[in-house]
């Protein structure tokens, strides 16, 4: 199922529903220099929060949910989250 990204203008944890993205205030200032952390994403299937990098935000590499109970994999494509087919 394709989910449309809901961008939060400010950090309100209660509003981090599945498929919500909050771009970090200091996007690009931490993590790997070549691919720094960029935003927080609530997993579109379980709402677990995870940091995503600039390349993940740009759709260059897939996002894998950090929850042990959920192995969702997806791509961010523009304003949409597209599930990745897993064999
Ligand atoms: Zn998940």
Give every CB contact of residue 73 below 8 A, 6+ residues apart in sequence: 62, 63, 64, 65, 83, 84, 86
Q: What is the pTM of this model?
A: 0.91
Domain ranges of the chain: 3-83
**pLDDT value at position 1?**
83
Q: pLDDT tens digit string along 62-73? A: 999 999 999 899
- Residues lining ion ligand 1 (Cβ < 5 A) are 43, 45-46, 48, 65, 67, 70, 72
Is 41:52 a contact under the CB 8 Å cutoff?
yes
Report CA(34)–ligand 1 centroid distance (Å).
26
Q: pLDDT tens digit string along 1-46? A: 899 999 999 999 999 999 999 999 999 999 999 999 999 999 999 9
Residue in the block written with tokens 């599930």: 83
Contacts for 54-60 with beta carbons within 8 Å, 24 or more apart? 54/27, 54/28, 57/21
């Amino acid at each position: 199922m394709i989910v449309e990204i809901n961008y939060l203008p400010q950090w309100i944890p209660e509003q981090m529903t599945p498929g919500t993205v909050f771009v970090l205030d200091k996007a690009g200032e931490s993590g790997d220099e070549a691919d720094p952390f960029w935003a927080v994403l609530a997993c579109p299937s379980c709402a677990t929060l995870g940091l995503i990098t600039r390349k993940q935000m740009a759709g260059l590499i897939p996002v894998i949910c950090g929850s042990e109970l959920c192995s969702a994999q997806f791509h961010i494509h523009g304003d949409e989250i597209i599930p990745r087919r897993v064999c």
